[in-house]
Structure 1
Amino acid sequence: MTSFTLTTALLGLGLATIILVLVRRGHLHLRHGVFWIIVAALAALFGAWPMLIDRIGAISGIRYPPALLLLAAVVVLLIKSLLADMANSRLERQVRRLNQRLAMFEADHERQ
């Protein structure tokens, strides 16, 4: 195993370990942790077997297989960003409704 392959595989495993610790301590929600564990596992997999990227590229007809890896990373990050924006919008809507309910409650409380 070359030093680059070993380094990449160790980085993937290290990332997975850090994510598990963050989930366990409650710093990262489990739903988000699962996504990042999958990313770390794929990084470790492609780090341990870099020829896998070449085979997937050849099967999909891509001449330069690392471009496939970069394209997949960009697509995954765009999807993750979209999901984060959707969750943020949902939270903002809930906070707005909660503020409205609180204002109505305070107005009723002042009348009494």
Structure 2
Amino acid sequence: MISLNLTTLLLGLGLATAIFFLIRLDHLRLGHGAFWLLVAAAAAVLGAWPGLIDRLAALIGISYPPALLLLAAVMVLFIKSLQSDIELTRTERRLRRLNQRLALYEAERGERAERDNITE
């Protein structure tokens, strides 16, 4: 059991280190990195103290502790997916507005060019 705890702890710490490097290299935004750092910290904590999930499950009233872990993982991934969809929608809306502004700018520039050609 100690090797499993050590493996889980090392995986959590390794994930945290990888996330720090991704943030530092600007491959991952800080906001997204903070979420994944929390996931890595949770993995490290549960790896160091595996009985913690058993105690939490007993406290909540869940008789099979791995079910709590799976439920929590599904909920976290659901929330992350929802957050990503919200951000994608916001980005698409900004891009659409930017395209509309660019089209208006180009149309105005074309009208000016036509007026300048007529007056010459």
TM-score, length of structure 2 as denominator length: 0.92
Pair 1:79 & 2:88 matched:
no
**After superposition, what is the alpha-carbon deviation per residue over 1:37-58, rounded to whole angstroms, capped at 9, x for unaligned?**
0000000000111000000001
Q: Which amino acid aligns with 2:82?
A: L
Q: Give 1:110 shift.
A: 0.5
Partner of 1:38: 38
Q: Give 1:82 shift.
A: 0.3
Partner of 1:104: 104
Q: Give 1:95 shift.
A: 0.3
Partner of 1:17: 17
Helix, strand or coil: the match of 1:28?
coil
Helix, strand or coil: the match of 1:96?
helix
Greater Rg by CA: 2
RMSD of aligned alpha carbons? 0.7
Helix, strand or coil: the match of 1:8?
helix
Partner of 1:29: 29
Aligned residues: 112
Please give the alpha-carbon distance, in whole angstroms, between the structure 2 residues aligned to 1:43 and 1:50. 10
TM-score, length of structure 1 as denominator length: 0.98
Please give the alpha-carbon distance, in whole angstroms, between the structure 1 residues aligned to 2:64 and 2:20. 33
Percent of aligned pairs with the same amino acid: 62
Pair 1:54 & 2:47 matched:
no
Q: Which amino acid aligns with 1:37?
A: L
